[in-house]
Amino acid sequence: MSTLPPEKAVLAPRRSRRSERRATAVDSGVHYPRWFWPSFATPGILWLILFFLLPLYTVLSVAFGTVDPIFRSPLPVYQPWWWTTSHVAEGLGKATGLFRHVYARTFVYVFIASAICLVIGYAVAYYVARHAGRRKTLLLVLLISPFWISYLMRMLAWVNLLQQDGYVNRILTFLHVVPEPVGWLEGRPITVILGLVYGYIPYMILPLYGFLDRIEPNLLEAGRDLGGSPRSTFLRVTLPLSRPAILAGLVIVSLPMFGDYFTNTMLSGSPSTTMIGNLIDDSISSTGQGPEAAVLILILMIMLLIPIWYYLRSTARAAEAR
């Protein structure tokens, strides 16, 4: 039985599906104009336009632009019809030629550092989520506490700790772990990798903790009831369930690691440990190299789309499966 008022009922045959939906909303006593729900996205869209699309277009304009004839500072060209491809071609040529070692090195460093972050971060997050008991809050605060100090200050502290006569070497030599002080700051890849791990591991722990904490204890009990040992319950229940969190953690730590330049600058400074971020930083601070820096940024962005795409695809599949 129609509940439409008589004057509207005559229009019913010509109604579109959208009108029907609106009518249903009216029926339920709430009327939302068409723009109401989409308008909630406005702040996010504005944010994206102002702080992502415009800066990205500026980077594009620098990459396809030119340089000031006197000061050699980058001059973005905002009109696409005047874009020049020479810098882009040069940057692409270098990326696949001269700089391929740097890209390979960066991938290796980020891969190892992310793996270490995962191993340590998972153990810590698992302990806090499942076994910390009343100390959970305290441990969480301690985990977040490094964020209270800037990354710069934390790295400067490590520079002091890792010096030839720093506390790290004093402790290691005192415990006879090493016979003599190690030159941690002498341009060693291991120092850079451990620096990356230190800098980004909280970003791994927090999402893992958030997910592990939400796993239903009933599921784990069911696993054990079905005869699973603690190890097999972990491997067959907990680990598969935490896969989305592992992926999220890996994406969150590896993306900024790819662009990181500060860790290497502070803890090494050697050309043999240069990462992509250092190349970009060097180009930005060199006269006449601005467009090349922009090209390197674009190449890095495109490369990072791959893990992001994989993450989105995996989470979408997981959502479908549920």
Partner 1 sequence: MRPHPRQRYTRRDFLQRSAASAIALPSLAAIVAACTKPGEENVTGQNLLTPRPDRPVTLPMEIDPIATDTPIEQDAELVLFNWDAYVWKPIVRRFIEKFADYNPSFTAVTTFNNMDEAVAKMQAGQIEADVFFPTIDVVPKLAISGLLQPLNHDLIPNMEENVWPQYQNPYYDQGWRYTVPYVVYTTGVAYRRDVVSDDEIFGMDNPWEILWDPRFENRAGVYDSYRDTIQTALLKRGITDLNTDRQEDLDIARDELLAMIDAVNPRATVNGAYKRLPQDEFDVHLAWSGDIAAGWGYVPEYTRDYYENLGYWFPEDRVGPIDNDCIAIPANAPHPRLAHEFINFMLGYKNAMDNFSWVGYQPPQNETDPGSLTTTEGLYSLQSGWAEPAEYVLPWMEAAVVRESDFDVGYRQAPLTAEVDDRWHDVWQQFKAGVNAST
Pair of tokens at residue 25: 């909303």
Torsion of CA 264, 51, 307, 107, to 10 degrees: -20
- Residue 160 and residue 166 in contact, taking contact as beta carbons nearer than 8 Å: yes
Closest approach, Cβ 20 to partner 1, in A, equals: 44
Closest approach, Cβ 169 to partner 1, in A, equals: 12
Cβ proximity to partner 1: between 108 and 144 the closer is 108
Cβ proximity to partner 1: between 9 and 104 the closer is 104
Closest approach, Cβ 81 to partner 1, in A, equals: 10
Cβ proximity to partner 1: between 254 and 289 the closer is 289
Pair of tokens at residue 86: 């020479």
Residue 75: strand pairing partners: 66
Q: CA nearest 219: which of 200, 241, 203? A: 241
Closest approach, Cβ 135 to partner 1, in A, equals: 40
- Residue keyed to tokens 């109401």: 36
Closest approach, Cβ 58 to partner 1, in A, equals: 13
Interaction site with partner 1 (CB under 8 A): 65-73, 75-79, 82, 98-99, 101-102, 104-105, 108, 163-165, 183, 185-189, 268-274, 278-279, 282-283, 285-289
CA angle at residue 288 from 284 to 292, to 5 degrees? 55
Residue 16, SS3 per DSSP: coil
Cβ proximity to partner 1: between 137 and 286 the closer is 286
Cβ proximity to partner 1: between 77 and 298 the closer is 77
Q: CA nearest 155: which of 262, 251, 19? A: 262
Burial (Cβ within 10 Å: 0-12, 13-18, ≥19) of residue 319: exposed
